[in-house]
Amino acid sequence: MSHGFFLWPVQASHHAKEVDLLIGGFGVMVWLLTLPVFILIAVFVFRYRTGRDANRDHASGSNVWLEVSWSIIPFLLTLGFFVWATALYFDLRRPPAGAMTINLVARQWMWKYQHGEGAREINDLHVPVNRPVKLVMISQDVIHSVFVPALRIKQDVLPGRYTTMWFTADRLGIYPLRCAEFCGTDHSVMGGRLIVMAPQDYAGWLARNRDGGESETLAAAGARLFRSVGCSGCHGAASTVHAPPLDGLYGGPVGLSDGRALIADDQYLHDSIMLPNKDVAAGYRPIMPTYANVLASEQVNALVAYLKDIGAGKPGTRQEDGNE
């Protein structure tokens, strides 16, 4: 981070370059559409000022073709940029399949991250270079917003709902990460750094920062929780309670008791734990208790990581138990 005056922010990803190109192109169009207006205004005001002799005859009062052309041409030009910008935006919302997932929990006024391999950190975020990273984010209180200017991306972090954001940083370095959504007293100091490291450095950093020195991954922590907070009492293979098995659940379709169907994604798993009555699995009674007041966001993230783990690779392969 330089501390001097600078005209253009650093570009730390391919996406950043594309956004800069887009806004540059738009800037050119803006001049194209407005410079004539400004020049004409100046010329007219000069040429036709009161007292100056000028030909003022036959000034027409309107001209439909002129009107149509100065409505349509700017519109079509802008539409081109609309398509371009929308395509870029859609890319932003579609993380590549192999992206590594990092969980982020925001609260007044700090960022807490959980890496899949078990490392945790606060405010600073370490990521490997040239590798797609997907952040799965949730807030414990108000709305926050992760903003990394060098990557030209930002995403709001909401209470009670996961939002995601992904990027591939392609330049080593340390970049500021800021909170962009006003979140109360210390909003302006809710910052951090994005630290983009070479892969081997990142691996080394991970190894040094495993949770409390134990080499426990997030999913493993989730597995531990799954037993300790009582999930396995109902969902475990040996359980007598009629509860759905959770292996292979993630990523597949789920039929609901009211006839709808949806895909079991992060949000679905989260809501199943926090708001179990929201979407009740078909064939089961809504007896699962809510864990809203029991589990912290980080613990839910760990459980979700575990459920994804036992579902991963074989999405939707879950066997429904036959005794329905």
Partner 1 sequence: MSDAALDMGKPAEEVEDISYLRAGHSLRSWFLTTDHKRIAILYLVSIVFFFLIGGAAAAMIRLDLLTPAGDLMTNEGYNRAFSLHGIIMVWFFLIPSIPNTIGNFIIPLMIGARDLAFPRLNLLSWYIYIVAGFIALAVVLGGGVDTGWTFYTPLSTMYANGMVAATVIAVFISGFSTILTGINFIVTIHKLRAPGMTWSRLPLFIWSHYAVSIIFVLATPVLAITLLLVAAERLFGIGVFDPALGGDPLLFQHLFWFYSHPAVYIMVLPAMGVISELITSAAHKRIFGYWFVAIASIAIAVIGFLVWGHHMFVSGQSLYASAVFSFLSVAVAVPSAIKVYNWTATLYKGDIMIDAPLLFALGFIGLFVAGGLTGLMLAMLAIDVHVHDTYFVVAHFHYIMVGGTVTAFFGALHYWWPKITGRLYNETLARIAAIVILVGFNVTFFPQFMLGYEGMPRRYHVYPPEFQLLQVISSAGAALLAVGYAMPAFYLLWSLKKGPRAPANPWGATGLEWTTSSPPPKHNFTQQPVVVRGPYDYPLEHPASRANA
Partner 2 sequence: MPEQRALHEPFHHPARQRQADRLGMILFLASEAMLFGGLFAAAMALRLLYPADYVAASGHLKLWLGTANTAILLTSSLMAAVAVETARGGRPRLSGYALVAAILLGLLFLGIKGYEYGSEYREGLIPGLHGAHFEGRVQHLFMNFYFVSTGLHALHVIGGIALLTIAAFSRAARQDRTVLLIGNAALYWHLVDIIWVFLYPTLYLPDVS
The least distance separating ligand HEC from the CB of residue 105, rounded to whole angstroms, comes to 17
Q: Per CB under 6 A, does 251 bind ligand HEC?
A: no
The least distance separating ligand HEA from the CB of residue 152, rounded to whole angstroms, comes to 13
Of 191, 198, 174, residue with least CA distance to 12: 174
CB environment 20-53: b (16+ within 10 A), e (fewer): eebeeeeeeeeeeeeeeeeeeeeeeeeeeeeeee
> Binding mask 183-222 vs ligand HEC (x if CB under 6 A, - otherwise)?
----------------------------------------
The Cα angle at residue 310 between residues 305 and 311, in degrees rounded to 5: 90
The least distance separating ligand HEC from the CB of residue 308, rounded to whole angstroms, comes to 10
Biggest alpha carbon–alpha carbon distance for the chain: 100
Binding to ligand CUA, residues 86-115 (CB under 6 A): 109
Q: Per CB under 6 A, does 34 bind ligand HEA?
A: yes
Helix (H) or strand (E) holding 255: strand 253-255
Q: Per CB under 6 A, does 75 bind ligand HEA?
A: yes
CB environment 299-320: b (16+ within 10 A), e (fewer): bbbbbbbbbbbbbeeebeebee
Q: Per CB under 8 A, does 285 bind partner 2?
A: no
Q: Per CB under 6 A, does 276 bind ligand HEC?
A: yes
| Binding region for ligand HEC (CB under 6 A) out of 121-129, 133-141, 142-150, 225-233 | 225-233
Write out the residues near ligand HEA by the rule CB under 6 A.
33-34, 37, 74-75, 78
